[in-house]
Amino acid sequence: MADKSRPSTLTVYLYVPNIIGYVRILMNCFAFAICFKDKYLFSVLYFVSFVCDALDGWCARKLNQVSTFGAVLDMVTDRISTACLLVILSQVYRPGMIFLSLLALDIASHWLQMYSSFLVGKTSHKDVKDSSSWLFKLYYGNRKFMGYCCVSCEVLYIVLFLLAKNQTENLTEVLVNAATQSWFYLILLSLSVIGWVIKQIVNVIQMKTAADACILYDIGKKR
């Protein structure tokens, strides 16, 4: 006899936070389809999708609908969305390799973190209590700090996309011109760059920590 207290596969797929995740995917698909036709609509849709990332997490906790599938869906959606925007920026700005390097760091660090977390039996990739890095623990332990860093990254990328007028823009020139011509851009870019730098440092720490965890797991198996 089936356990009625256990949700079915379909039930998990239809959890409210997971439905929000599907909506985010559709929203991003439409946003990227029109990104060069309507930059402002793209920016609004992209940012709304990003904000929904926090909304689905809140719903998962509030409705007791936390699931491994939801966590993976969330991360995959985030990573692919950011990756697509970074690819676009790499085609608009020179040197484009900067954005492709950021894309590689973002995907590698998060994939390694997710894989190593499940490898050692953790239920969440955000469980970093055993880390020796105070910044890494602060990032995943303080939602406001993590939110600031994540919002900073996305806002910086969106602003860079909006500022680009041609497909061969010099990144340094665009940033300097925007900061010197407007106090609004100066403040916005300054706050965004600070959070962006912290996020990249955390990504490097995350990748190294996760790689160490994978190696230690192998060493432990050989003993």
State how far the Cα of 190 lies from the Cα of 187, in Å rounded to an integer: 5
Amino acid type, 78: D
Within 35-182, residue ranges assigned H as helices are 39-62, 68-92, 97-119, 134-141, 143-163, 171-181
**Residue 34: other Cβ atoms inside 10 A:** 12
Candidates 134, 109, 76, 71; CA nearest to 206 is 109
Amino acid type, 157: Y
Which helix (H) or strand (E) segment holds residue 169: the answer is strand 169-170
What distances in angstroms separate CA 178 from CA 95, 181, 187, one per listed residue?
18, 5, 11
Per-residue HEC secondary structure of 97-115 comes to HHHHHHHHHHHHHHHHHHH
State how far the Cα of 153 lies from the Cα of 72, in Å rounded to an integer: 21
Amino acid type, 129: K
Both tokens of 96, joined, read 């484009």
* Marked catalytic residue, from 78, 127, 130, 212: 78
- Tell me, yes or no, if 38 is annotated catalytic: no
State how far the Cα of 194 lies from the Cα of 198, in Å rounded to an integer: 6
Active site residues: 78
